[in-house]
Amino acid sequence: MLLEARALEAGYGPAQVLFGVDLRIGAGECVTLLGRNGMGKTTTVKVLTGLLPARSGSIRLDGREVTALPAHARARLGLGLVPEGRQVFPTLTVRENLTATARPPADGGAGWTLERVHALFPELAERSAAMGSLLSGGEQQMLAIGRALMTNPRLLILDEATEGLAPLVRARIWEALEEVRASGMALLIIDKNVQDLLRIASRHIMLEKGRIVWTGSSAELARAKDVREKYLGV
């Protein structure tokens, strides 16, 4: 198992947000984390990546205990994050954003390079010298994904993968993520576009008030109209 979280509890100050969350992702697997706003999805991502400490529970990455490791150490071990809100470096060029945190793959393979990211997103190659602050929302999301890929993670986590993007741009992002998945990289995706997630992911995890309330395959979620209506409102 590539990533395994057990009985995670976390929160902010006196407010507890996560209550015993269990989560597993295998190598090369694409999993989604679903739920309405405020149900604990982003908090889960922060705990997994080390941006928020767990109050209890454990996180193992490829069998190694990482619960107490800081975010940068987890990134070196193979966790990549595309954060909510993109958070590109506004005063760096597109090229500088992509290369600032780049690292070769741990296994010594070909990995993700500048040329490969440009092939995935030709828009970034065309805007290579533009400052991050001058990009459109869609271009910034492509850049955030490309920047994370340049760290050559084993698991790429995307928090709100296509939020606020125009339909044509969303389609470009999903197309790119399907290509990333086909390369063998594991994905954990948070997004509200259920139909796209049903196509790209193999398994889905539903959060409600910081607790996992449902898990199942794409086929099971497609049939479970009552589950979608109850926990997603769709």
Q: With a cut of 80, say whether residue 109 has pLDDT above it.
A: no
Pairing of strands 79-82, 155-159: parallel
Query: pLDDT tens-digit profile of 17-60?
Result: 999 999 999 999 999 999 999 999 999 999 999 999 999 999 99
Q: What is the pLDDT of residue 138?
A: 93
Q: What is the pLDDT of residue 86?
A: 85
Euclidean distance between CA atoms 44 and 158, whole angstroms: 12
Q: Contact at 8 Å (CB) between 155 and 25? A: yes
Euclidean distance between CA atoms 138 and 155, whole angstroms: 22
Query: pLDDT tens-digit profile of 164-207?
Result: 899 999 999 999 999 999 999 999 999 999 999 999 999 999 99
Number of domains in the chain: 1
pTM value is 0.93
Pairing of strands 3-12, 15-25: antiparallel
Query: pLDDT tens-digit profile of 140-172?
Result: 999 999 999 999 999 999 999 998 899 999 999
Q: What is the pLDDT of residue 234?
A: 54
The range of the structural domain enclosing residue 90 comes to: 3-231
List phi, psi (to 5°) of 107: -90, 0
CATH number, domain with residue 19: 3.40.50.300
Euclidean distance between CA atoms 92 and 5, whole angstroms: 35
How far, in Å, are 22, 108, 109, 172, 226 from residue 105 at the CA level? 28, 5, 6, 25, 43
